[in-house]
Structure 1
C-alpha cells in the first residue's frame, strides 16, 4: 500500500500503509501534529518516490513469474510474494534448487523484457474473457465477475498476463535492471527467489564491486587477477597444510614420539594413548601407521584430536598380535564415544568415532585406559 501524509491547517498525519478493507480504503496513520476531527478536509500527499520503486518491483515480480515458467516449466505457480520499495521476494512451486545456469537464464529473460521497453497494459474485463486470454490467476484466490488484467507487452500473446489489482510501472524500461540476489528453499517443493531492481540493483552491484575492490587491495593485485590469485593462495595453503599434516603425523612428530615414550606395557602389547593437536579424523589413521612402524612388537593406540570444525575425533587401532592378546578397537570406541557425545565402532584392529563435545576427550582417553587395564 501507499505511504505519505494527510494534512490540514494545524493537523498532520503520517501514513505508513493503506489497505482495502472490504471495499473501504483504510489508512494506517499516526497523528504527528494537532487533532483530527470527524468531517475535516485533509490534503493527501503521496510518497511518489516510494510508489515508483514499488511499481518497478511489482512489475518485475510478474516478469519473474513468467520467466520461471519458461525456464522450469508450466508446473511453476506462485506460492507467495512480497513487494517492498527496496526488493522483491517470490515463492514458487518447484521440486529442486535452481542451478546457476537456470538462475542466469531467468535473470536474462527478465532483463530482455526490461531492455525491450515493453508497455505495461491494464484492462478491466469479465473473468471468463480474462481466462480465455490466458491471464494467470492465483490458486486459491477469490475473484469477482469483473477483473483487472495486467499484461507486459501489447502483443496478442504477451510475455506476461496476470489477474492483478496492484500498481505497476507504465513501461518495463522504468525497471532499469533486474538482479537475483538469492535462491533458497522455504519448505517441501517450494523455492524462494529474492531480487532487486532499479536503484536497489545499482546499490547491490555497487556493494559487490566494493567487496571485489577490497579483495583486490588485500591481495595486492588488479581486480581481474583476483580469481587467479585466490586459486594460487588456495594451492599454497593446501601444500602447506599437507606438509604440516606430515610433520604432525609422521615419524618426526615430537608429539607422537612423546606419546610412544609414555606407552604403557600391558599383558601382551604396548598401549599408546594421546591427544594430538590440529588433526582431522582421517589424519589419525596416519598417526596409527607411524606408531605401528616405530614400535617394535605388538602395539595398540587410542588417539584423539579436535578437528578444524571444533568437533572431537577418536581412533583406536591395534596390530594383529595386540588383537590376539585381547585388544578390540571396536569395543574400546563403543565404550568411550559417548563421553564426547558421539557414536562409533569398527573392527577389532581399527575403529573410529566422531562427536559433538570436544571437552570430553580427556575423559574418553582416561576411560579407554581404565577399560584396557592401563
Structure 2
C-alpha cells in the first residue's frame, strides 16, 4: 500500500465519521518564536487551549512536520527522520476517550477491502498512563484486548505535553508487534524495537503552567474543554504496509536512495557506513525539498540555517560515497517525482525549488574547495610547528565560518598524518550551542503571553474598518499591562489595548503597522504598534499620553493620514515592481519577501544573478509607465479557489485562508492575493525610484526603491550633486562621466608615483635602522619607531628589509609606526633567532600588551597594536627584557 493511499484512506475514514478534513499547515510555524511545525498538534494549539473558538467540533488532517533535534541520528535508526507526516484526528469538546479508542481500533483492524488498514488484532498492543483505569477498561471493552496486552507506563512515556506551558494530558499509545526476529516478547515495556509505536491518542484535559522537564511540571487546572489530539506516523504505517525495514525504504523516500546508488556506483546493503550515508541523503533531500516548497531558503540563520545544514550534509554524504560532482539536479528530481502526487505544489513551483537547491549545492562545492585550501595551510603550519594535532580552534573556525564539516576536516587531517584536538573543538561547539539555546529560550513566549487573549478572542473577531475609513468609534474590550489583564491604565504606561473595531492596520503581508492615536473621554493614546497575536484578534500597543483609559470606555481610532497615504503608495508600488520584474525577467522572478513602509519598499525575488543597469532601468520604466497610465486599483473578496481560477498570484511560501482578498492593478496585469492597503489608481503613487539592487542569498536578489515624495526628494538631491559637480569641474553634465574617469585615472597615476617615492624613501631608512642594532643576549636587536606611516604594510616592509640587512646572525627586528594616531609594531626574526628561542608572535603579544592592545602572528613575522603611542619605548624595553630571559 503506497504512502499516499494510506493517507487518503485515513482521511476518507474520518470524513465518513463526520470530521472536517483540514489541509496541512505550512512547515513554517506561525509562531515567530518557533522555527518549524514540529508536531501535528501545533496548528491546533489555539483551539485546544480555547484561546480561539474551534471552527469545527472534530477534524482530521495529514500534517507536514520537521524535527531537527535528532539530526545526528538520521540514517542510524529505522525511525529517525527529519521530515515526517502525522495523521491526526481531533475533537474539540466533542468525543473523548471512548470515541478516540473506538475510531483508532476500527480503522486499524478493518480490512483493506473495506477501507481500513488491515492490521491483525493479535499484533496490536497498547499502553496507558499508570493511573488511567478508564482508558484501560475502554480498551478491554471496545477492542477486547486481554489485560496483558494493555500495559501501564508513567509520565516519561504516557503523559504528553509540548515541553512548554500549555495543553497536556495522559495518553494511550498503540504498538505493532513486528515478531520474534526483532526482539524479546513481553510488549513495549520490554522491547520498543520489536513493539513499534504507530499511534498516540492524547486525552488532552490539563493546562500546564510550569514545565521543568518531561516528568516535572505543574498543572494549573483543566482546559475549557476535554479535547482529543491523536498522531499516527504516516511513514511508520507505510513501513508495515510495505514490508520494509525502515522509513528510508518506503515509496516516498526510497527513490532518492536508489538514485544515489546509481550516481555513486555503490550498493545499498553492502556496508553499514555507506548505508547510513544513503539514508542520510534520502532523508535530507526530501526534507530540504519540502522546506523549499514552503518558501524556506538557505541562509546562515534561523530556518535557512537548518535547511542549509541539511543540504550540506547531503553533499558531504555524497562525497563520502565518492561523488564530488553536483548531484542535486538528479536527487531532487527523484524526490519531486516521489512526493508530487501528495503535494502538487512541488511540481507547480519546481523551477523556483530546483533553482534554489542547485545554487546552494554550487555554493557549497565552492566552499569545500575554499575550505580545503585553508585547511591545507593549517595542516602545513601545524607540521612546521612540530605538532601532531590540528588545533580545535582551527577546526571550529572552518566549521563555523566556512561551513566546512568536521568529519571532512578529520579525514583530510588523517590523510596528512595528523589528528584533530576534538576535545577543544567539541568544547567550542558546546559553547556555541549553549549560547544559541540561551538565546532561543530568552525569545520563547510563555503560554500566558497568548492565553491572556483567550477571553478577549471569545468575544469575537476584531473588525478591521481601515480599508474605507481612517477613523471609527469603538469600545475598549480589554487591556493588558505587562502581559496580564488589567482594568485600566494611566498616563505614562505602555499597554496593549483590544477594541471591538479598528481602522489601524496590523502589521502583515510585508506592510508595517499604521501610526496614529486612540482617543476617548479624558484620554489620548499614542499607537506604537499594531499586531495580530492570535487569529482574528487585533492588539494595539500604546503609550498613554494623557488621562486614564479603562475597559468599557468608548474609544476612537485615528489613523495618521499622511503616513497611511505614503504606506499605500509603497504597497501598491511593490505590486507594480513585481509585475515589471516578471515582464522583464520572466515568470520565475517571483516575490520571496517584502517590506513596505511610508515612502519605501524592499522587494526580494527569486533570481540567481545581478541585474544589469539596463535591466534595472527597464524595470523602473515599466513600473513608472504603469503609474503614468493611472491604472484602476480594485479589490475583491472571494474563495481561494476562485482567486486562483482568476489568475491571482499566490506568493510562494505564503499561507492563505479559504477566503482571500484579491488586488488588481490594471486588471490582470497585476493580480495578487493581498490584505494590505492600496491606492485607488496607480497615478496616486506619484513616482518610483529604484535606489538599490543586491544579493540576499544564492538565488535571491533584493530591490529597494523610494516612492512618492521620498522618491522625488532623492532625485532632487542627486540633481543638486550633479549641479555641484558641473560647477566645480567646469564640465557640462553630459561630459561628467568622462571627466570623472579622467580625473580618477590621473589620481591613480599620482598615487602610484607617490608610492614609488615613499618606497624609495623607506629603502633609504634601512641602513640607518640597521646601524642602531644592539646586542641583547645572543641576539642582534633593533627597536625603533619611524613616526607617522600610511599603513601597517609600510612598517612590515621596513622590518623585513632591516632583518635581511642584518645577515645570518640571530636577529630580532621591532619597527613601530603610528597610523591615524594608533601605534603598531611589526616584529621580524630570522632563522638563527628562532632557533635560539625568539618567536615573533610571542614578542608581538608582549609589545601589544604594553601598548594597550593585542597582537600575534607567525614565528617569523608578527604584528601588534594598541592605543597609547607614548608607550612605544616601554614596548621595546619589554621585548629586550624577554630576549634577555631567553
TM-score normalised according to structure 2 size: 0.33
2:720 aligned with 1:210:
yes
2:677 aligned with 1:154:
no
Matches of 1:35 and 1:332 in 2, distance apart? 71
- Output aligned runs, 1:1-374, within 5 Å: 1=505, 48-68=561-581, 71=585, 74=588, 76-79=590-593, 81-91=594-604, 103-104=616-617, 106-138=619-651, 141-155=654-668, 158=669, 160-183=670-693, 193-214=703-724, 219=728, 221-222=730-731, 224=733, 225=736, 227-228=740-741, 231=744, 234-235=747-748, 238-239=751-752, 241-243=754-756, 245-246=758-759, 248-251=761-764, 253=765, 256=766, 258-265=768-775, 270-276=780-786, 277-284=788-795, 286-288=797-799, 291=802, 300=811, 301-307=813-819, 312=824, 314-318=826-830, 323=831, 326=833, 331-339=838-846, 340=848, 341-345=854-858, 351-355=860-864, 357=866, 359=868, 365-373=876-884
Q: CA deviation at 1:59?
A: 0.6
Cα deviations across residues 66-109 of structure 1 (Å, max 9, x unaligned)?
44556497374433x43332322345567787676665554444
Matches of 2:545 and 2:663 in 1, distance apart? 37
Q: CA deviation at 1:314?
A: 1.5
Confirm or deny: 8 A CA contact 1:316 1:329 kept in the other structure. Answer: no
Q: CA deviation at 1:237?
A: 5.5
Cα deviations across residues 197-229 of structure 1 (Å, max 9, x unaligned)?
121101112223334445666x55447447247
Confirm or deny: 8 A CA contact 1:249 1:290 kept in the other structure. Answer: no
Confirm or deny: 8 A CA contact 1:333 1:352 kept in the other structure. Answer: yes
Q: Secondary structure at the match of 2:571?
A: helix
- Call closer, same or farther: CA 1:265–1:195 in 2, change over 3 Å: same
Larger RCO, structures 1/2 (Cα 8 Å, 6+ apart): 1
Matches of 2:647 and 2:873 in 1, distance apart? 69
Matches of 1:111 and 1:102 in 2, distance apart? 14
Q: Secondary structure at the match of 1:162?
A: strand
Matches of 1:281 and 1:95 in 2, distance apart? 38
- Report the RMSD for the aligned CA atoms in angstroms: 4.9
Matches of 1:215 and 1:207 in 2, distance apart? 13
Cα deviations across residues 130-149 of structure 1 (Å, max 9, x unaligned)?
12333233466553433221
Q: CA deviation at 1:19?
A: 6.0
Q: Secondary structure at the match of 2:636?
A: strand
Matches of 1:95 and 1:308 in 2, distance apart? 41
Matches of 1:288 and 1:329 in 2, distance apart? 19
Q: Secondary structure at the match of 1:143?
A: coil
Q: CA deviation at 1:111?
A: 3.1
Matches of 1:86 and 1:329 in 2, distance apart? 68
Where in structure 1 are there 5+ consecutive unaligned residues?
Answer: none
Matches of 2:856 and 2:623 in 1, distance apart? 50
Q: Secondary structure at the match of 1:282?
A: helix
Where in structure 2 are there 5+ consecutive unaligned residues?
Answer: 1-504, 506-513, 849-853
Q: Secondary structure at the match of 2:782?
A: strand
Q: CA deviation at 1:345?
A: 1.3
Matches of 2:601 and 2:834 in 1, distance apart? 63
Matches of 2:828 and 2:529 in 1, distance apart? 68
Q: CA deviation at 1:161?
A: 2.0
Q: Secondary structure at the match of 2:649?
A: coil
- Call closer, same or farther: CA 1:4–1:258 in 2, change over 3 Å: same
Confirm or deny: 8 A CA contact 2:827 2:843 kept in the other structure. Answer: no
